[in-house]
Amino acid sequence: MATKTVRGATFLDKGGTGKTTTAAHFGVALAEQDHNVLIVDLAGKQNDLAEYFGLLDDWQAAIDADDDDDQDWPNIGTVFTDQWEQIARAVPDAAEQMIWETSEGPDIIPAHPDLDGVDDDLASVDQEDRYQRLNEFTTEHLEPMGYDVILFDLPGLTNNVSYNGLWAARNIIAPVEMGPLEEKQANGLRDDLDRIATNFDIELELTMVLPNKVDTRTNLAEEYLQQFEDAYPDAFAPAYVPVSQDIRNACNQGKTVFALDKPSKTAEEAIEAYRVNAKAFYRRLTGGE
């Protein structure tokens, strides 16, 4: 297994393109390929990631219980606060307490309502420190737990939380839908990443551009696929993910398509695409294996 933790983030500056779906399914595919995986939800207001793993009710119950005894920390929002170092010293297993096991392989850190205030709070933090808090938390608390892969599911907008996610992950998987506007969006992403990398003097890699919700019954889809491949020859994913109603169905049942009893044809295609892409993603970041 890997000696160094591989990090990645699902990100595109646009809502609903499949960031959470990709993080969940890459996580399961990589776990299936014998990696020890953690997925961190920095996005889900509705706690989308927990939903894919059937943990929504338990998670809601845990939050309600915390509210009752006025003890709603530690959670992933806490990591971004000025008090975090103090809390980590006082509660040595604070990071472990945030982690939930799933029945499909990966561990997850679900989102938390406290994340809502983080963007504003970070705005008043020194520039030096503002974008690095998640990176420090990851290095000091998550990596030592021995994960091979840590995936961050980011919000569909650029704010201080997503900057933290990009900084911590350095490698980006961008799920894109096929269409003219989307191509502009993806080009915007490349410009954004270049700008962020220059401003912060860090390297950001667009590791994978992943066409999602592809409907090959239309000729246009083929055209857009070709355009994306031409625009991103290195980052283009080896397999696209088809549009599949079963992805939604599975989510509603608290699972990924990997755990469906009777996956439809499109779900089977999606499963295969996630396997191939997750493997390629890991290989791109480790240079082999």
Ligand X SMILES: Nc1ncnc2c1ncn2[C@@H]1O[C@H](COP(=O)(O)OP(=O)(O)OP(=O)(O)O)[C@@H](O)[C@H]1O
**241 near ligand X, judged by CB under 6 A:** yes
Nearest to 80 by CA among 14, 27, 30, 125: 125
User: Helix 180-200 crosses helix 219-231 at what angle (to 10 degrees)?
Assistant: 20
Instruction: Select 7 or 19, whichever has its Cβ closest to Mg ion.
Output: 19
Phi-psi bin for 34: left (phi > 0), alpha (psi -120 to 50), beta?
Answer: left
Q: Which stretches of the chain are DSSP H helices?
A: 19-32, 48-52, 56-68, 84-90, 94-98, 118-123, 127-130, 133-137, 160-169, 180-200, 219-231, 245-252, 265-286
| Residue 79: Cβ-neighbour burial (10 angstroms; 0-12, 13-18, 19+) | buried
Q: How many residues bind ligand X (CB under 6 A)?
A: 18
By CB under 6 A, name the one of 7, 19, 35, 275 that touches ligand X.
19
**39 near ligand X, judged by CB under 6 A:** no
| Cβ-based neighbours of 210, under 8 Å, separated by 6 or more | 18, 22, 173, 174, 175, 176, 237, 240, 241, 277
Torsion angle of C-alpha atoms 270, 276, 277, 281, degrees rounded to 10: 160
**138 near ligand X, judged by CB under 6 A:** no
d(CA 52, CA 75): 19
Instruction: Select 18 or 74, whichever has its Cβ closest to ligand X.
Output: 18
**171 near ligand X, judged by CB under 6 A:** no
Using CB under 6 A as the binding rule, the residues of this chain from 195 to 224 that contact ligand X are 212-213
- Region binding ligand X by CB under 6 A among candidate stretches 9-17, 117-125, 183-191, 195-203: 9-17
Residues in the chain: 289
CB of 252 to Mg ion, least distance (A): 16
Which parts of this chain interact with Mg ion (CB under 5 A)?
19-20, 43, 48
CB of 264 to ligand X, least distance (A): 11
**113 near ligand X, judged by CB under 6 A:** no
Q: Which residues pair with 101 in a beta bridge?
A: 107
**43 near ligand X, judged by CB under 6 A:** yes
CB of 266 to ligand X, least distance (A): 8
CB of 71 to Mg ion, least distance (A): 27
212 binds, among ligand X, Mg ion, none (CB under 5 to 8 A by kind): ligand X
Residue nearest to ligand X (CB): 156
- Region binding ligand X by CB under 6 A among candidate stretches 18-26, 31-39, 104-112, 141-149: 18-26
**21 near ligand X, judged by CB under 6 A:** yes
- Binding-site ranges for ligand X (CB under 6 A): 15-21, 43, 48, 156, 212-213, 241, 243-244, 247-248, 251
